[in-house]
Structure 1
C-alpha cells in the first residue's frame, strides 16, 4: 500500500518577474495543501474545528466538488465523504443526479425509474441544462423515480429538488414520502424556468412527473443535523468548459447550496486534447472561479490537479504539464487553495507503481476502487493537517 506522502512545493521553482516572486513569497504551504491566499480558508478551517469540538450545534459544513470521471465515479469523493463524516458528523448525502446515469455511480444512493430518458450536457448542446448538466425527461405521462439511500434510517431529510415545467399544466410534479403520502410543494411552478423546491421527508421518496416536467439535480441533507456534506457533481469525460454548456442561471443553484468549500477537479481530459486552446482554458478557469466568488463570497475554493496519468508506459499526455502549470498559476492569481494529486501519488510516472500494486487501472488514467480510496485518504489527511495548522 502506498503511504500518504508529505511534500513541499518549492516556492521559487520558476523565475518570473520580481513582482510575481514577491507575491509568491506570501504563499502559505501547509502539508499537501497549498494556500495561495484564499480569503475564506481560515473561516472554512474554523468551521471544521468548531464541528470537531461540538457536533450538537446543528452546524453544517458543505463541500461541493465538480469534476470529470474521477468525481463522477464517487469512489474518491465517496471515501472522502465517509472519512470526513466519521470525523465531523454525518449531515447527509449532498447533491445527486435525478436518475441513475449509466457509467457513473454514487455510494450513498440508488435509483429506480420508469418512463424517463436522460439528457446529458456532455453529448448535447443548445439545451437549457441545470447545474450538473443532466436532465431527466419523461418519455410519457406517469413517469416515476424512486430515490433510496443505500443505508435506510428513520431520520427526517431536507430535500431540495430542481425542476422545470416546460409549459403551464396542472400538477406537473407530484412527490410521495416513504409512506406513500403526497408531499405538499410550496413552490408555484413557472413555465420554462428552472426552480428549486424544498421539503422535509423520510426517505425513500417517489417523484411522479408528466411529459411537461423536467428534473435536475437533487440535494439530500439531514434535517437539523450537524456535520459535513460532501457533494460530487461530475460527468464522465468532462472538461472545465462543460460549465459553459449549462444554463446561464445555473450558478444560482450553486449559491443556494451555501457551500463552504468548492473543489474543482478537472484537467485530465484537457491534457489529452491536443487541439485545446490553452489560453481559452485559462480564461474559462479564471472566469468560473470569479463567478463562484461572486455568488458564494464566504466559500473557499480549491483546485485539484489531475492525478498522475500516462498515455502508455512511456509517454505522458502532451498537455499534462501545461494544464497543471496553468492550474497553479490561476490558483496563485485568484488566491485559491491547490492540491497536487500527481505529487500525492508519488510524482511523475507514479501511476505505473500504482498499477503494479493494484491501485490504478490498465488505462493508466483511472484508479481502481482501492486506488481512489487511497487517494482520498491522502487528501483527507492533507486537508485535516491544513485545518489543524490554520
Structure 2
C-alpha cells in the first residue's frame, strides 16, 4: 500500500456512507480549474450522476471562466475580481457582480432541474429593496437589504431558470448557494492567473459565512503554477500562504478533510518541482492528503507523452480539455478505489 493510499484510508474511510447522505466537495485553484473541465470529469466519475445540488457559485463567471453547472446571461452587471481589482470585503471566491440600475441577469441550470433552496448574497451602500427575482414558475420576490455596506443572505425556494433584476444602481451580488437537503455536489473557487495568496483579499468573514449550511466533506486545493512562474519564488512564503488557506478553510468547516494537489510539470514553469515539494511537505506537516498530478501524467510518458497525445495546449503550460478530464477522472477513481477496497 503506497503512502497516499494509507492517508486516504485513514481520513476518508467513511465517505461511502456520506455519499448516500449527500457529499460536498470544494475545489480551490488557478486556471487548471478555470474551465471546469477537470471538475466536471471528477463530478461524473465520483458521483456517478447522483449529484443533485450546485453548492456555492460566484455571481457571474469572469472572462475565460466557465461553469458546467450554470449558464449566465448578463445585461448590465460589471464583474469585479479579487485577482485584479480591490475591495475591502470580497466574498468567498473573490467575485462581485455590480449592477447598473435596470441591469438583469438570468441563471440557468445546465443539467439539474426542479426546485432548490437558493441563498443570494447581496450588498449595497444603503438599505431597502435592491433586487427583484422571478423564477421559472413566475413567482416574484424582492430582496430587501438591511445593513449598509455589509454582505447579507436572503433565502428563497426557486425553480430555474431564475432572473434577477436590479432595482438600484450599485447593488451587488456576491454569490449563490444552490442546494437540496442532503444533496451532493462539487463546486469551485477558480481564478485564471491566481496565486495561492488570492484568498488573502477575501473578507475576514467570507470563509465562515459563505461555507455555512453547505455540507462540505472535502476541500481540494490546487495552486502552485503561477507561484512557481515567479522568478523570485520563495518556498517559505509559499508554504506559509498555503498553510494560512488551510487554516481558513478549517475555521469555516472544521470536519472537512483537505487534499493538496501538486501542479503539472510544465517545462515553461521552472519552479514547478520546487512548488510540488513544498505542497508535499505541508501535507505531511499538517496531516493532509496529497496527490501529485505528475504521478498520473508519468504513466503515459509525462509532459512529452501527453503532448504527443494532443493533451497539451500550445502555450506549454495548460492542458487541453481532454487532459484535464483525464486528471479529474483519475483523481475521482483513486479516491473511490481506495475507499471501496478498505
Where on the TM-score scale, by shorter chain, does this alignment land: which range? over 0.9
8 Å contact 2:122–2:145 — kept in the other structure? no
Q: How far is the alpha carbon of 1:84 from its aligned partner?
A: 2.2
Q: Is the 8 A contact 2:71 2:109 kept in 1?
A: yes
SS in 2 for 1:330: helix
Greater share of strand: 2
1:112 aligns with 2:84: no
Structure with max Cα Rg = 1
Measure, in 1, the Cα distance between the counterparts of 2:337 and 2:7.
13
Matched, 1:374 2:326: yes
1:191 paired with 2:148, answer yes
**1:80 matched to 2:55:** no
Structure 1: runs of 5 or more not aligned: 1-6, 9-27, 312-316
Q: Which of 297, 300, 308 in structure 1 is aligned with 2:254? A: 297
- Distance, in Å, in 1 between the alignment partners of 2:301 and 2:165 is 50
Q: Indicate conservation of the 8 Å contact 1:344/1:378, yes or no.
A: yes
Note if contact 2:124-2:145 (Cα within 8 Å) is conserved in structure 1.
no
Q: What whole-Å deviation, never above 9, does each CA across 1:126-175 have from its counterpart, x for those lacking one? A: 4421111111001x21111110012363x11121221112222x211221
Q: Scaled by the length of structure 1, what TM-score is found?
A: 0.81
Superposition map of 1:1-390 within 5 A? 8=2, 28-30=3-5, 35=7, 41-42=11-12, 45-46=13-14, 48-50=15-17, 55=20, 59-86=21-48, 89-138=50-99, 140-151=100-111, 153=113, 155-168=114-127, 170-183=128-141, 189-209=146-166, 210-221=168-179, 223-224=180-181, 226-256=182-212, 257-311=214-268, 317-346=269-298, 350-390=302-342
- The structure-2 alpha-carbon separation of the partners of 1:321 and 1:349, relative to structure 1 and needing over 3 Å to count, comes to farther
Q: Deviating runs (4+, > 4 A) in structure 1?
A: none
SS in 1 for 2:105: strand
* C-alpha contact (below 8 Å) 2:264/2:272 kept by paired residues: no
Quote the offset at 1:308 in angstroms.
2.6
> Taking structure 1 as reference, are residues 211 and 235 closer, same or farther at Cα in structure 2, changes over 3 Å only?
same
RMSD between aligned residues: 2.2
CA–CA distance in 1 between the matches of 2:198 and 2:301? Answer: 28
Q: Which ranges of structure 2 fall in alignment gaps of 5 or more residues?
A: none
C-alpha change, 1:102 and 1:305, in structure 2 (3 Å) is same
Give, in angstroms, the shift of residue 324 of structure 1. Answer: 0.7
Summarize the Cα distance change of 1:107–1:295 in structure 2 as closer, same or farther, 3 Å threshold. Answer: closer
Q: Return the TM-score normalized by structure 2.
A: 0.92
Counterparts in 2 of 1:254 and 1:116: CA distance versus 1, 3 Å: closer
